[in-house]
Every structure is written in structure tokens, then in C-alpha cells.
Amino acid sequence: MQGIVLRNMDLSGMDLRGIDFSRASFHHICFDRADLSGCILKNVLFEQCSFCGAVLREADLEASALRGADMRACDIRGANLFCAVLEKAKLENCISDENTKFFRLYCPEEGAFVGYKNAVTIGLRNF
């Protein structure tokens, strides 16, 4: 299924476990309550897709575009989200755990870390 392009489909509740969808494009697809456990979803485009209540346990979502996806109550325990684009995704009640990779990033409580902040100072003098 690598590189497949699907549009305007309802895959709600489907058992899609373990399928390799690398480099696929999904446009207006409903994955609500679908089981995508263990799927390889590397470099996949998800345009206006819904995953409400879907299971993505141990799925590899590396570099996938999930911009604006509805992932409410989605189970992503153990999933790999390295470089995944989650901008404006709905993540309320999303289930993750300590094995979910690159989802909950935070500054360490102790020790050094490198941070960068870009501030706009238009109109400020000698700040």
C-alpha cells in the first residue's frame, strides 16, 4: 500500500493493523475508531482526516503531515511522532504514555539545555 492515494472515504472502525502506508496521501478520510496499530505511516499526507477514537499504538508516524487532523481520544501509546506536523491538530483526550516518542516535549527540570527565543522589538529603543 506504499504511495497509495485515497480520497473521500469512510474507513471508520476498519482493522488496518500493520499495513505499510509509507508515502501515501489521504484526503478527506475518516479513520474514526479504526485500528492502525503498528502501521508504518512515514512521510504520509493526511489532509482533513479524522482519527477520533482511533488506535495508533506503536504506529510509525515519522515526518507525517497531520496538520488540522481531528485526533480526539486517539490512542497513540508507543507511537513514533518524530518530525510529525501536528499544527492545529485536535489532541484533546489523546492517550499517550512514556513510550510515545516525540509527543510530549518539555524542558528538563535539572541540568543544562539549549533554548532559542526570537523576539520582535519593533519600536523599542535601548531595551
Cα 51 versus chain centre, distance: 10
In whole angstroms, how far apart are CA 8 and each of 14, 51, 121?
Answer: 15, 14, 46
Please, are residues 76 and 97 in contact by the beta-carbon 8 Å criterion?
A: no
- Sequence ranges of the domains in the chain: 1-122
Q: Count how many residues are written for the chain.
A: 127
Residue with cell 473521500: 8
Architecture category of domain 1-122 in CATH? 3 Solenoid (2.160)
- Predicted TM-score (pTM) of this structure: 0.81
pLDDT, tens digit (0-9, with 9 covering 90-100), for 1-59? 899 999 999 999 999 999 999 999 999 999 999 999 999 999 999 999 999 999 999 99
CA angle 104, 76, 4 (to 5 degrees): 120
